[in-house]
Amino acid sequence: MVLRLLRLSNLSIIIFLLSLLQGQNITDPGAVLYRESRTSEVVERRVTLECGTTLPDMYIWGFTKPGTDKMRVVVYNFGKGPKFQQLAKDLGDLNIISNTSSLSIEKLRLAAEGLYTCQAMYDTDEGFRLFYYYMYLRVLVPVSKPYVSLGESSAVEGSTFLMRCGLENGTGPIHYTWEQESYSGLVTTLAESNSSVLIITWVTRNHTGWYRCLARNEVNQQRSDRIWVDVLFGPDLPEIQATAYSVTENGYSVLEKGNVSLRCQASSNPPSQYIWLYNNSEIYSGPEVTIIMALRMHTGVYGCTAKNMILNTWSKKTVTLTIYYPPDGGPSCSILPVNNYTDLALFCSWVGGFPPATLNWSPYVNGDNREGIVNVTRIQPGPDTANNTVFFCYGSHVALNVTQSCSTRTWLPYGEPQCSANSSSNNEYLMLSCSWEGGFPRALLWWVSSSGDTQGTSEENSNILVLRSSANYSGKAFVCHAKHPLAKESKRCVVNLDAPVLITRNRTVSVFEGTDVQLTCFLAKHYPPVLEITWYNNLKQNVGDTPMKYILQQGAAWSNLTVRETDSRVDSGQYWCSAANAVGGTEIPIMLLVMKYPMPPNVTVTKITYSSRQRTDVNVEWQIQMDGDITGFFIEIQRLSGPVGRSDIDPLWQKVAVDLEPSTRSYQINNLDPTGKYAFRVTAVNQRTVGNPSELKSPGEK
Ligand SMILES: *[C@@H]1O[C@H](CO)[C@@H](O)[C@H](O)[C@H]1NC(C)=O
Ligand SMILES: *[C@@H]1O[C@H](CO)[C@@H](O)[C@H](O)[C@H]1NC(C)=O
Ligand SMILES: *[C@@H]1O[C@H](CO)[C@@H](O)[C@H](O)[C@H]1NC(C)=O
Ligand SMILES: *[C@@H]1O[C@H](CO)[C@@H](O)[C@H](O)[C@H]1NC(C)=O
Ligand SMILES: *[C@@H]1O[C@H](CO)[C@@H](O)[C@H](O)[C@H]1NC(C)=O
Ligand SMILES: *[C@@H]1O[C@H](CO)[C@@H](O)[C@H](O)[C@H]1NC(C)=O
Ligand SMILES: *[C@@H]1O[C@H](CO)[C@@H](O)[C@H](O)[C@H]1NC(C)=O
């Protein structure tokens, strides 16, 4: 006890009290009592510290400042009323409550905190009794209004952020509560702790909002004003929205000549700055880019770059914009034979455009109404299809509001295939022609020889088989087969080949010379047609080489050769009529006999006289010695220089009358020289022959 007292007491007081005790003689050691208590009060308020229940005879209030061990006297009363020491003023407004030893402190000051010791002595019948009251007084300070201070002016998403709850006054321990008020006004408690610092290790944009802290101690609690924390973030990956025709795998599609708006949105604080790119080149800055009247060339990759200008961060998104445009024109239809010309392939095509056009055939072919794109082929059984059936192909495209169509019509060629054979101009080749035209699709034609082998290639519509000429083909047949999908069976036509055969009516023709004569020959069977019948004359020369002499007339199957003005010396002999085609040739001889006319009969001058004395005119009369072919007479005259019949006769005969009618038997010759001497003779003629002249006679001779 003494040790404790020693530790707590001011030395001078102890000495004073000890001397007191010694003087008063404390008989019972149990007469010293110790009481300890603790109390607390808020600064500026009032507190009463009690020292026993009854007023002691003497008391001393001492005060020991915390952290020291020196007790100092505040007030004492040794019976003459309380005496306050200088120190009391530092503690507040001090009073001793009347009739007690209780110490009342008003306007409690902060410095009043510490250990109060009241020593109270009672002088009783049993001697002195001493009481020690130890009271520890804590002076509490209410928390002042806290304030929030930020580590940095703005928070950045993903980083660490620090906030401090600042407080000027307040007795600890102080408890801190952090509250966040979101944009929407929702208040949430973020943290409660004894630390004034709030650390957000990973800031998110959700941390944006009003913040305040609440400080609390055992006296009170206070809220700070709210402070706005702006969290910088972004930009996030942009989202691109479009007012477009449709959404595609990588973006959007637009009909050509339509409008499209692309809108970019990327969350960011501060708000994003947007830049639009087309195929990586910048085209526009701003969140929304609009293309009026989009054309197919606007197809491409559109990118949106969002930038946070403060954080200097960016993000990018791209979309593919596809412009849908229709193919040009309309679909085109056709029909092709398939499966060896037994079936029809209906083919419809409409190329170009994007996306590809959609096509379908109507009526539904073969029960198949599937749609196709760009090129559609449907198989239709041929023989089930009627002649003149119309098929339609309808094409549609998203970028066109009307359906386009084409149609095609089946067409079975009329009648039968037509065959023919021809020879080349020099008969070197045999050409077999076959045709069955006008079909749709076209018919297939092929040639088969008499031995059953297919010759040459198969052709559509018409097929010309060219073979080297050969006599082996004579008497043989070639068959042309024709197949059209609309006809169940194939059709055929035949050519029978024959080398030419010539005939003539007269193997021998005889004629009197001087006239024209016709030689005729006829073609009997022959195929292919003989192009030309050729004639050779008696010298085996082609008559065509001497057109003045020969005239040719040709008919379909005959030929006349006219030999003009036949001459018995040159034109008689064997003539040849010749014909050839690509499967053979022949010639036949025709004998021409050109005969001379018989000699006209001899003429006898029966009478020759001068008609008058003037001797200028002479009458001649004559007779024929026998009947014969006569066409006329002529009379010749000869002037005589000497006596008639003498050897010095002038040899010059002059015709004085010609072409006298065959019936004429007399003639008068005029205008003679009366002094001259003349001789006359008469000659008979027929077509070509001049007869023997008559004996020459002179007038007057009898
Ligand atoms: C803190 O306490 C001191 C001294 O008591 C006083 O002067 C000051 O005004 C107080 N501050 C606040 C914010 O209450
Ligand atoms: C923000 O809060 C919303 C709703 O509470 C939540 O869906 C979202 O994930 C939060 N964002 C972040 C970045 O934490
Ligand atoms: C843009 O790119 C697309 C395909 O990537 C291309 O078809 C188009 O021609 C390009 N446009 C230009 C103007 O280069
Ligand atoms: C095609 O048809 C012809 C007769 O119609 C026949 O000879 C030929 O063998 C056929 N070809 C095929 C590949 O079926
Ligand atoms: C098929 O129809 C067309 C058109 O009417 C007609 O010209 C043709 O002759 C017909 N074919 C047959 C084999 O009837
Ligand atoms: C061809 O000659 C024959 C007799 O040789 C004759 O009957 C026929 O009329 C002649 N034809 C022509 C067109 O001159
Ligand atoms: C006709 O006359 C010729 C000589 O002038 C003679 O040779 C011939 O015998 C005569 N013919 C007849 C049938 O008398």
The DSSP string of 601-667 is PPEEEEEEEESSTT---EEEEEEESS-----EEEEEEEEESSSTT-TT-----EEEEEEE-TT--EE
d(CA 254, CA 74): 97
The ligand whose atoms approach the alpha carbon of 414 most closely is 5
d(CA 353, CA 360): 17
Residue 98's pLDDT is what? Answer: 85
Residue 183's pLDDT is what? Answer: 75
Atom of ligand 2 nearest to the CA of 206: 1
- Which of 418, 437, 413, 430 lies closest to 480, judged by CA? 418
Q: State the pLDDT confidence band at 549, using cuts at 50, 70 and 90.
A: very high
Q: Which two tokens stand for residue 135?
A: 């009271």
Name residues contacting ligand 5 (CB within 6 A). Answer: 387-388, 411-412, 414
Q: Is the pLDDT of residue 680 over 60?
A: yes
d(CA 681, CA 669): 12
Burial class (CB in 10 A: 0-12, 13-18, 19+), 386: exposed
Instruction: Calculate how far, in angstroms, residue 288's C-alpha sits from the geometric centre of ligand 7.
Output: 139
- Tell me the average pLDDT across 376-392: 90
d(CA 686, CA 599): 8
d(CA 213, CA 195): 11
Percent of residues, the chain, with pLDDT higher than 90: 66
Instruction: Calculate how far, in angstroms, residue 651's C-alpha sits from the geometric centre of ligand 7.
Output: 21
Instruction: Calculate how far, in angstroms, residue 361's C-alpha sits from the geometric centre of ligand 4.
Output: 29
Instruction: Calculate how far, in angstroms, residue 205's C-alpha sits from the geometric centre of ligand 2.
Output: 8
| For the chain, counts of helices (H) and of strands (E) | 2, 56
> pLDDT per residue over 253-268, tens digit each?
999 999 999 999 999 9
Instruction: Calculate how far, in angstroms, residue 313's C-alpha sits from the geometric centre of ligand 3.
Output: 28
Backbone angles phi, psi at 617, to 5 degrees: -120, 140
Residue found under tokens 């084409």: 406
Question: Which of 116-125, 498-507, 578-587 has the weakest average pLDDT?
Answer: 116-125
**Measuring from atom 9 of ligand 7, which residue has the nearest CA?**
602
Question: What amino acid occupies position 630?
Answer: I
Name residues contacting ligand 6 (CB within 6 A). Answer: 518, 520, 553, 560
For a substitution probing ligand 5, which of 385, 408, 410, 411 has the most ligand atoms within 8 Å of its CB?
411
Question: What amino acid occupies position 552?
Answer: L
d(CA 372, CA 366): 15
Name residues contacting ligand 2 (CB within 6 A). Answer: 204-206
**Measuring from atom 6 of ligand 3, which residue has the nearest CA?**
300
> pLDDT per residue over 555-580, tens digit each?
988 999 999 999 988 999 999 999 99
For a substitution probing ligand 2, which of 190, 206, 232, 269 has the most ligand atoms within 8 Å of its CB?
206
Residue 12's pLDDT is what? Answer: 44
Atom of ligand 5 nearest to the CA of 412: 11
Instruction: Calculate how far, in angstroms, residue 561's C-alpha sits from the geometric centre of ligand 6.
Output: 9
Q: Which two tokens stand for residue 648?
A: 């010095």
Instruction: Calculate how far, in angstroms, residue 298's C-alpha sits from the geometric centre of ligand 3.
Output: 8
- Which of 637, 634, 633 lies closest to 652, judged by CA? 637
- Which of 390, 478, 492, 485 lies closest to 436, judged by CA? 492
Question: What amino acid occupies position 32?
Answer: V
**Measuring from atom 3 of ligand 4, which residue has the nearest CA?**
340
Q: State the pLDDT confidence band at 3, using cuts at 50, 70 and 90.
A: very low
d(CA 609, CA 188): 182
Q: Which two tokens stand for residue 313?
A: 């961060």
β-partners of residue 377 are 347
Instruction: Calculate how far, in angstroms, residue 358's C-alpha sits from the geometric centre of ligand 3.
Output: 25
Instruction: Calculate how far, in angstroms, residue 520's C-alpha sits from the geometric centre of ligand 6.
Output: 7
**DSSP secondary structure letters along 343-366:** EEEEEEE---TBTTPEEEEESPBT
Name residues contacting ligand 7 (CB within 6 A). Answer: 602, 625, 692
Q: State the pLDDT confidence band at 651, using cuts at 50, 70 and 90.
A: low
Q: Is the pLDDT of residue 364 over 80?
A: no
Q: Which two tokens stand for residue 159?
A: 């980083």
- Tell me the average pLDDT across 476-505: 95
Residue 365's pLDDT is what? Answer: 59
Model-wide pTM > 0.85: no
Atom of ligand 5 nearest to the CA of 411: 1
Between the alpha carbon of residue 285 and those of residues 163, 278, 294, 297, the distances in Å are 38, 12, 19, 21
**Measuring from atom 2 of ligand 4, which residue has the nearest CA?**
340
Residue found under tokens 């006359």: 680
For a substitution probing ligand 3, which of 250, 281, 296, 299 has the most ligand atoms within 8 Å of its CB?
299
HSE-up of residue 676 (Cα within 13 Å, Cβ side) = 14
d(CA 685, CA 655): 14
Beta-carbon count within 10 A of 349 CB: 18
- Which of 616, 619, 597 lies closest to 682, judged by CA? 619
The strand order across the sheet containing 654-660 reads 654-660, 632-640, 677-685
Instruction: Calculate how far, in angstroms, residue 199's C-alpha sits from the geometric centre of ligand 2.
Output: 19
Instruction: Calculate how far, in angstroms, residue 73's C-alpha sits from the geometric centre of ligand 1.
Output: 29
Question: Which of 162-176, 438-452, 497-511, 640-654 has the weakest average pLDDT?
Answer: 640-654
Helix (H, G, I), strand (E, B) or coil at 297: helix
Residue 428's pLDDT is what? Answer: 94
For a substitution probing ligand 1, which of 139, 141, 143, 144 has the most ligand atoms within 8 Å of its CB?
144
Residue 1's pLDDT is what? Answer: 31
Residue 19 or residue 227, greater confidence: 227
Decide: 349 and 336 in contact? Cβ < 8 Å.
no
Residue 23's pLDDT is what? Answer: 46
The ligand whose atoms approach the alpha carbon of 233 most closely is 2
d(CA 260, CA 294): 7
Decide: 413 and 436 in contact? Cβ < 8 Å.
yes
Instruction: Calculate how far, in angstroms, residue 340's C-alpha sits from the geometric centre of ligand 4.
Output: 6
Instruction: Calculate how far, in angstroms, residue 346's C-alpha sits from the geometric centre of ligand 4.
Output: 21
**Measuring from atom 1 of ligand 3, which residue has the nearest CA?**
300
Q: State the pLDDT confidence band at 6, using cuts at 50, 70 and 90.
A: very low
Between the alpha carbon of residue 468 and those of residues 95, 431, 653, the distances in Å are 157, 9, 70
> pLDDT per residue over 424-468, tens digit each?
989 999 999 999 999 999 999 999 999 999 999 999 999 999 999
The ligand whose atoms approach the alpha carbon of 283 most closely is 3
The ligand whose atoms approach the alpha carbon of 207 most closely is 2
Q: Which two tokens stand for residue 121?
A: 């002595």
Residue 17's pLDDT is what? Answer: 55
β-partners of residue 421 are 432
Instruction: Calculate how far, in angstroms, residue 199's C-alpha sits from the geometric centre of ligand 4.
Output: 92
Q: Is the pLDDT of residue 495 over 90?
A: yes
Backbone angles phi, psi at 49, to 5 degrees: -110, 125
> pLDDT per residue over 255-303, tens digit each?
999 999 999 999 999 999 999 999 999 999 999 999 999 999 999 999 9
**Measuring from atom 10 of ligand 4, which residue has the nearest CA?**
340
Residue 2's pLDDT is what? Answer: 33
Query: Phi/psi zone of residue 587: left (φ > 0), alpha (ψ -120 to 50 degrees), beta?
Result: beta
β 343-349/332-338 pair status: antiparallel
Q: Which two tokens stand for residue 288?
A: 């929304």
Q: What is the mean pLDDT of the chain?
A: 88
Instruction: Calculate how far, in angstroms, residue 169's C-alpha sits from the geometric centre of ligand 1.
Output: 6
d(CA 350, CA 358): 9
Residue 81's pLDDT is what? Answer: 86
Atom of ligand 5 nearest to the CA of 415: 13
d(CA 9, CA 271): 72
Decide: 343 and 382 in contact? Cβ < 8 Å.
yes
β 508-512/584-595 pair status: parallel
Q: Which two tokens stand for residue 453?
A: 């082998």
- Tell me the average pLDDT across 656-678: 90
d(CA 627, CA 32): 224
How is residue 460 annotated by DSSP?
Answer: E
**DSSP secondary structure letters along 157-219:** TTS-EEEEEE-SS-PSS-EEEEEEE-TTS-EEEEEEES-SEEEESS--GGG-EEEEEEEE-SS
Q: Which two tokens stand for residue 183?
A: 């944009």
Residues with Cβ within 8 Å of 317's Cβ and at least 6 positions away in sequence, in order, are 237, 238, 239, 240, 264, 266, 303, 304
**Measuring from atom 3 of ligand 3, which residue has the nearest CA?**
300
Name residues contacting ligand 1 (CB within 6 A). Answer: 144, 168-169
Instruction: Calculate how far, in angstroms, residue 206's C-alpha sits from the geometric centre of ligand 2.
Output: 6
β 221-223/231-232 pair status: unpaired
Q: Is the pLDDT of residue 642 over 70?
A: no
**Measuring from atom 7 of ligand 1, which residue has the nearest CA?**
169
